Amino acid sequence: MNKTQGSSAPATRQTPKRVLSLLVVLVRRAESGEDSSFEFSSVIVPMVIMVLLIAFATIVRAAQMPVWTAASECARAAVASETEYIGRQQARNAALQSLYGNAIDPSSVVITITGDWTPDTLVTCHVHYDIDMSRLAFFAELTGGAVPMDAEVSLRTEPFKSKWQ
pLDDT surpassing 70 at residue 17: no
Q: Where are the beta strands (DSSP E) in 7-145?
A: 110-115, 122-132
Question: What is the mean pLDDT of the segment spanning 40-64?
Answer: 76
Q: Which of 32, 151, 24, 21 is nearest to 98 (CA)?
A: 151
Residues facing residue 31 across a β-bridge: none
Residue 121 has pLDDT above 60, yes or no: yes
**Strand residues in the chain grouped as ranges (E):** 110-115, 122-132, 146-156
* Cα torsion 155, 160, 164, 165: sign: positive
- Highest-confidence segment of 5-9, 29-33, 132-136: 132-136
Max mean pLDDT among 1-15, 56-70, 87-101 falls in 87-101
Q: C-alpha 106: how far from its chain's center?
A: 19
Residues in a beta bridge with 113: 125
pLDDT computed for residue 19 by the predictor: 60
Q: What pLDDT score does 56 carry? A: 75
Taking residues 47-74, report their average pLDDT.
83
pLDDT interval class at 161 (50, 70, 90): low
Residues in the chain: 165
Between these two residues, 6 and 125, which has the higher pLDDT value? 125
24-33, 50-59, 72-81, 113-122: range with lowest mean pLDDT: 24-33
- Which of 16-25, 49-58, 113-122 ranks highest by mean pLDDT? 113-122
Greater pLDDT, 55 or 73: 73
- Average of per-residue pLDDT across 121-149: 81
CB-count burial class (<10 Å; 0-12, 13-18, 19+) for 120: exposed
DSSP 43: I
The side-by-side arrangement of strands in the sheet containing 146-156 is 110-115, 122-132, 146-156
Sign of CA pseudo-dihedral 85, 86, 87, 88: positive
Residue 55 has pLDDT above 80, yes or no: no
Enumerate residues 6+ apart whose C-beta is below 8 A from 22. Answer: none
